[in-house]
Amino acid sequence: MLASINWLKKYVEIPVTPEVLADKLTRVGLEVEQVLHLGEGIEGVITGKVVTIERHPDSDHLWVCQMDLGKGDTVQILTGAQNVHQGDVVPVAQVGSHLPNGMELKPVKMRGLDSNGMLCSAGELGIDAKLLLPEQRDGIFILPADTPIGADIKAVLGLDDVVLDIDLTANRGDCFNMLGLARECAAVLGTKLTLPDYAPESGEGTPASDRATVDIVATDVCSRFGLRMIENLEIKESPEWMQKLLRAVNIRPINNVVDVTNYVMMELGQPMHAYDYDKVAGHHWVVRRAHEGEHLKTLDGQDRALSPEMIVIGDDEKGIGLGGIMGGFETEVTGATKTVMLEAATFNGPTIRRTSKALGLRSEASQRFERGVDTILNHNALNRAIYLLEEIGAGKAVHGVAECYPVPEKPVEIKAAPTKLAARIGCDIDAATMKAILENLDFTVEEKGEDSWVVTVPTWRKDCDCSADLSEEVARMYGYDKIESKTPELIMARGGQAPIEDVKDMIRDTLTGIGLDEVMTYSFYNAQVFDNLGLPADDSRRKALQIINPISDDFRTIRTTLTPCLLSTVAYNQARQSERTAIFEVGRVFIPKTLPLTDFPEEKMVLAIAMSGKRNPLSWNTAKDAIDFYDIKGALEEVMDSLQVKGLSYGPTKEVFLHPGKSCAISYEGKVIGFMGAIHPTVQDRFGLSAETYVLEVEIAPFVKSAEQIPQFEHVPQFPSVSRDIAVVVKAGVSASDLEAEIRKEGGALLVDVRIFDVYTGKQVKSGYKSVAFNLTFQDVSRTLQDKDVDDVIKQIVANVQDKFGGMLRD
């Protein structure tokens, strides 16, 4: 928000420097980022009149001007500009003057003739071209003919102003205007606020309410809509004083009607719009939602496709405006317009924000509606605009207001106890001081008894609706620097975190320790990822929750699996020439119990890992082998070791997005809790993956109990171990993990380790069977094992394998 000091002084006395005012406003929560002196660097530039102008005798592009600078004698100045004529009033940089670019003017000779100064363009005075009319942007800046001669150009053009660049927080929409800021200035400076003048609503003749009608159909997005009329309109430039103030806050003057609506918006905070009354069919204004497939051509000449959520101002035949954002082209005020209807309305902020974002159309009006506009402002803005238009001779006002206001707004009342307000602030402020502070901010404080107030909030303070807000108002105006630091009095409790959080920390420490990088992806994505994964139509993960107001369509679906999040991240890195990507995420997935949602969804904490590329891309002494299935399986085993989890088993998986020959399901305590493997080539292409990628996804809640166990010290075995190899021939469909589980069970306490080292199919094994070779390690902590001890256990293992799987020892 840009605030002109000259403009603020119309409503409040400011007896301090702009820098001091900026500091005071910042201390009460209105952060001033910058104090801008508009005419900084300009010295000695005045207005001058071209008395005569002649072509230079030795140049085809230079002109010799005799200038009246208001000092009696004329001064000769040469210029190359082609838009200067006799009688023009222009800015003149005299000899010895300075310009914003640091130039100091000195007398010069140009083709043999003296030039004692320079005629200035707007750009040379530091004026932004976008704030000027098209005809003022090129060449010398031609001033109005009635401009005083010899006057300081800074005063003439409003460059003697100082502008505060204020970073307003979203809750302070009441300060998004000059009067709101002046109200804050009056409070912090202890000076009086002076309100602007308004036109009366009553009068003689046919009122505006008999010449136009208003209906609000979409009452949920528009609470009030009012119109006032001015006739016998004459479109012309607005007065110079108004143009100066508008330019100071980066608004380009256009004509008297547009400038007045912009002026009132900046002054009061109420966006306005002007309609050509004769172009509105039936002289009937209707506030409604856009029709399906409706298009509207806005004032910027763009044809815009609308959606049914958007607010449209219509007449009996068509849309004539995009409510709260921009007017329609068909009812634009032009030089031929004779009767104007001015609009002031209150629209729903969130709806305006969504419309503005969807159309990529953000205006000064939409920014104010997004923050909240005071409904009571409607009449003030209309009456102020009519007053200004009449004052500058733009036309004749028609009395009365045509409006629709279905449910009049009531001021917010807050019950508060002064002692609690002070306690919340944390210092001893007496009730009288707090009451004075609140009343100085236009709150009404009614005492209802001992330590009991009813505080009526000004209608423009949309951010205040509870007693905590009152404490904040008192604190910021009392002065945060006056609140002493105190040690809080509280009962100290032992801290801690949930066991699942300990598990997450252990997982992070383990995986980062072996070289993986943690990522944090969005909790929502586009439902297209389910098609990319190839999930069947009945897969429960497709039944995902949908966000009503997503950031964009790509973030509408709440995630039910982390896999697509990591695949997208891998693809992003591969596209940027990453030779190795090894990432993980620990996060929640959200599984609805029913749809439509009738209960909170089930939230599962999941570990997901994705690995792709070279195993050692930067190593000079090892081959750049590609990451394979056993890299991601090894990462899982490292995690399980750190969590003291034993007994994971692996089996066939039904996940369609995994390679059928390089994947498996992960089970724990008889329940499938995840999967891992290589991404199917088809799915790999859909996600834009350029190299084979492996993923893992597993629930971590089942591991909490194991992770909570305190590790027990075990002595290093004193007795030697015995190693034996066996090869078992079983049917090809028998799972190696099932074989391993059975061997471990039958091996008992003496069997301390089992490893598969070979799987063979071929001529020496009959068709439909396979040979699985295991290395078994036996050890007893109390004695040295004999061959007979080991042989007996192996016989028992083989007998069980034969009985359960129909297997036999391979010869």
CATH assignment at residue 691: 3.30.930.10
Instruction: At 122, list the tokens.
Output: 């707007």
Say what the pLDDT of residue 317 is: 94
In a domain, 344, yes or no: yes
Q: Tens of pLDDT along 191-248?
A: 999 999 998 887 777 899 999 999 999 999 999 999 999 999 999 999 999 999 999 9
Same domain, 7 and 86: no
Co-location of 25 and 90 in the same domain: no
**What confidence score (pLDDT) does residue 594 get?**
75
Q: 440 in a domain, yes or no?
A: yes
Is 485 within the bounds of a domain? no
Judge if 393 and 359 occupy the same domain.
Answer: yes
What does pTM read for this prediction? 0.66
Residue 495 has pLDDT above 90, yes or no: no
- Check residue 716 and give its pLDDT: 84
166 and 150 in a common domain: no
518 is in an annotated binding site: no
The verdict on 613 and 685 lying in the same domain is yes
Can you give the CATH number for the domain in which 389 is found? 3.50.40.10
**Assigned domain for 488 exists:** no
What is the number of structural domains in the chain?
A: 6
Q: What is the pLDDT of residue 312?
A: 97
Whether residue 135 has pLDDT greater than 90: no
Average per-residue pLDDT in the chain? 92
Q: Do residues 232 and 216 share a domain?
A: yes
Q: For 302-312, what is the mean pLDDT?
A: 94
Whether residue 472 is annotated as binding a ligand: the answer is: yes
In a domain, 492, yes or no: no
Whether 760 maps to a domain, the answer reads yes
The answer to the question of residue 200 being in a domain is no
396 with 419, same domain: the answer is no
Same-domain check for residues 757 and 739? yes
Residue 284 and residue 362 share a domain: yes
Question: 141 with 84, same domain?
Answer: yes
Number of Cβ atoms within 10 Å of the Cβ of 718:
9
* Two structure tokens written together for 717: 């075995």
pLDDT at 706: 86
Q: What pLDDT is recorded for position 131?
A: 86
> Are residues 172 and 47 both part of a single domain?
no
Residue 146: alpha-carbon gap to chain centroid:
48
198 is a domain residue:
no
Q: Find the domain containing 745 and state its range.
A: 720-808
Tell me how far apart the alpha carbons of residues 279 and 288 are, in angstroms, rounded to a whole number: 19
CATH number at residue 418: 3.30.56.10
Alpha carbon distance 535, 682 (integer Å): 13
> Annotated binding residue at 463?
yes
Q: Within 13 Å and on the Cβ side, how many CA atoms surround 245? A: 21
Of 196, 129, 126, 186, the C-alpha closest to 161 is: 126
Percent of the chain clearing pLDDT 90 (strictly above):
80
Predicted confidence (pLDDT) per residue in 40-96, tens digit: 999 999 999 999 999 999 998 999 999 999 988 899 999 999 999 999 999 999 999
Same domain, 141 and 179: no
Asked if residue 466 has pLDDT above 90, the reply is: yes
Q: Would you say residue 168 has pLDDT above 90?
A: yes
Q: Name the band, by pLDDT with cuts 50, 70 and 90, for residue 464.
A: very high
Sign of CA dihedral 509, 510, 513, 519: negative
User: Tokens 């420097």 map to which residue?
Assistant: 17
Confidence of residue 489 (pLDDT cuts 50, 70, 90): confident
> Which H/E stretch holds residue 454?
strand 452-456
> What confidence tier does 484 reach under pLDDT thresholds 50, 70, 90?
confident
